[in-house]
Structures are given as structure tokens and as C-alpha cells.
Structure 1
């Protein structure tokens, strides 16, 4: 369970989150949507303990995250932009994360699934953006975390890798995991998500199913429903 209560965050004079409230209390895929700069990534980083709030509370699995770090063991995270030392090879990076987590992973399965075998001895600096993203997907999914937070996971992926990622998310969903995902690809949301959390001007504008959103906006599909909200 994730519960966010009266969350406020500013960077200097820029007010990013303005009293955000929402809760997710069941397994499934939950799409966090909003225009660029709406605060999606900031909110996710607050849940992860990477950004401090000005005020408000976050609970994960019933416990407040303030002054806590152990809850992160049960969270898998795929950032929008992952930064690692460029001189590391793919293999060195994977092994480093395994050592840090002190857990046995399923990296071999995922490396094969995303066709990374021939890149294992390559330095990160020599990889294309799409290949880096495949490596990041391996890092995010190689441990059996109950909560997965995926920030723009499709960035740079070719069609084959995108299909594999969607299948992987579906498999994790069927295992009873909670998956929070930000994306601008509405077909991905329509295909996988149970619920939408829509951020607008630093507040939760809508939380509910795709059907509820299209009914509310009187639109026929998700893409037009989102566009209708943004035009308001």
C-alpha cells in the first residue's frame, strides 16, 4: 500500500506539488499521468525518499517513510534518466547492484530476454540510448520487489524491446505486484493499467479507471480524454 497525504513541495519559488492526496492499496498497474513539469517524477522521488517534502506524509505498507530506509528493499525503481559511472561495463554495473542489494537476482534471464549478451563487456559510455534503457530494465526487474516504480520506462526502446517490456510488466502484475508507471504512450496505459492518477497544476485532478475518465470528459478514448483535460 502507498498512501500520500497533503504533500507539498517547492523548489525555491516554484511550487511543484500543492497538497497532493492519493492512495493505492491493491496490486495492479497504476498510471501516473500529467503534462511535462506537472510533478510526476518529483512525487515518485518523494515516495522513494530521494526528495524531501516541504510538508505532508507518505506511508508505504502502513509505515511512515520519514527517517526510514528499509522499506526501499521492497521497491524496484526504473528512473527516467539513470546515471552510472561511464567507465563501468554492463557486467560490472549489474554485479555492483547485486552486491549493494546483497540479493540473488534473475539477471541472466533478463539479459537474454532483452538481447544484451553481446554488450556485457561494453562500457556504458559506448552504448546507445536504447541499449542503456534495456540495461536499466534489467536492473529494475532483476529482484523480486513487491512494488515497482517505472518512470518513462519505454524511452528509446525499439519495437521488439517495447513488446518484451509490456509482457514483463504484465507478468509482474499477474504475480500480484503494485506497479506505478509514468508514460506519454497512451496505448501502454490502455493496455496495462487498472487505474489512472492524473496530476494537474500540482494537484491530483483525477483518480479512477479509464472508463470513468472518458465518461467524465465525454470523450471516446483515453488520448482524447487527456487532451480535453489539458485544454481546460
Structure 2
């Protein structure tokens, strides 16, 4: 369970989050979407403890994250841009992450699924962007945590890898997990998300399923419904 209450965050004069209230109580896939500068990244970083809110509270599993940093063990996180140590090999990086988290990781299946075997002994600096993203996914999904956060997970993936990613996400949902996804690919969001959260200028403008959004905006097309929300910016 994730509960976010009246979250505010300001960077200099820029008020990025303006009283965000959200709850993710049950298993499911929740897409957090919005234009650039809407507050998505700040919200995710606050949940991860990487940004300290000015006001408000975040709780995971019923406990405020201000009181217990160990909540992070419940989260697997895929960053949008992974800055891997260039001098390490893929094999060394996977081993290092296992050691840091002090947990067993089911990496062998994922390595085979994303066909990373030929790259295990290669240095990360020599990998293509798409291969780095596959390594990023292995590092994220090889653990078994109740919460998964995926920031732009489709970046650089070929069609076959994208199919595998979708299957993996559905498998994790079936285990009863909360999965938060940020993405600019609306077709991916429409296919995968049980609910969407639409952020605009640091506020939640909509939370619910896609059919409810279409009904609210009187649009039959998901992308048009999102565009409709954008036109209500000053409402």
C-alpha cells in the first residue's frame, strides 16, 4: 500500500508539487502520466526518498517513510537513465547489485529472456542503448519486491524485448504487486494500465481507469482524452 498526502515540493521559485494526494491500495498497474514539467519525476523521487518534500507525508505499507528508511527494500526501481559504471562488465554489475541488496536474484531467466548472454563479459561502456536498457530491466526485475516502479521502461527496446517486458509486467501484477509506470508512449499505457494518474503543473487532474477518463472527457480515443485534459489546464 502506498499513500501520499498533501505532498508539496519547491525548487527555488518553482513549485513542482502542489498538494498531491494519491493512494495505491491494491495490486495493479498504475501509469503516472503528464507533460514534461508536470511533477512526475519529483513524485517518484520523493517516493524513493531521493527528494525530501517540503510538506506532506508518504507512507508505504502503513508506515511513514520519514520514520523508517528500510521501506526501500520493498521497492524495485527502474530509472529512466541508468548511469552504469563504465569499467564493469554486465556480469560484474549484476553480482554487485545482488551484493548491495543482500538478496538472491532470479537473473538467469531474465538474462535468457532478453538474450543478454553474449554481453555478460562485455564492459558496460561498450553496450548499445537498447542492450543497456535490457540490463537495466534485469537488475530491476530479478528481485521479488511488492512494489515496482518503472520509469520509461520501453526506451530503446526492440519489438521482441517489448513483448517480453509486457509479459513480465503482467506476471508481476498476478503476484499481487503494485506497479507504477511512467511513460510517454500512450499505446503502451492504454494496453497495460489498470488506472492512470494524470499530473499537470504539480496537481492530480485525474485518477481512474481509461474508460472513466473517456467518459469524463467525452472522447472515444485515449490520446484525444488526454489532449482534452491538457486543454482544461486552467479549469
TM-score range, shorter-chain basis? over 0.9
Deviation at 1:67, TM superposition (A): 4.2
Deviation at 1:51, TM superposition (A): 0.9
Once the two structures are superposed, residues 135-156 of structure 1 have per-residue CA deviations (whole angstroms, 9 ceiling, x without a partner) of 0000000000010000100111
Per the alignment, residue 171 of structure 1 pairs with 171
Uncovered stretches (5+) of structure 2, i.e. residues with no partner: none
What TM-score, normalized by structure 1, do the two folds share?
Answer: 0.98
Once the two structures are superposed, residues 23-54 of structure 1 have per-residue CA deviations (whole angstroms, 9 ceiling, x without a partner) of 11000100101001111111011001111111
Give the secondary-structure state (helix, strand or coil) at the position aligned to 1:72: helix
Per the alignment, residue 210 of structure 2 pairs with 210
Give the secondary-structure state (helix, strand or coil) at the position aligned to 1:125: helix
Deviation at 1:230, TM superposition (A): 1.5
Per the alignment, residue 11 of structure 1 pairs with 11
Give the secondary-structure state (helix, strand or coil) at the position aligned to 2:180: strand
Deviation at 1:231, TM superposition (A): 2.7
Could you list the runs of 4 or more consecutive aligned residues of structure 1 that deviate by over 2 angstroms after TM superposition?
A: none
What TM-score, normalized by structure 2, do the two folds share?
Answer: 0.97
Per the alignment, residue 36 of structure 2 pairs with 36
Give the 5 Å matches for 1:59-208.
59-208=59-208
User: Aligned partners of 1:221, 1:171: CA distance in 2, in Å?
Assistant: 27
Give the secondary-structure state (helix, strand or coil) at the position aligned to 2:121: coil
Once the two structures are superposed, residues 86-120 of structure 1 have per-residue CA deviations (whole angstroms, 9 ceiling, x without a partner) of 11111110000000111111001100000100000
Per the alignment, residue 230 of structure 2 pairs with 230
Deviation at 1:68, TM superposition (A): 2.2
User: Aligned partners of 2:217, 2:111: CA distance in 1, in Å?
Assistant: 42
Cα RMSD for the two superposed structures? 0.8
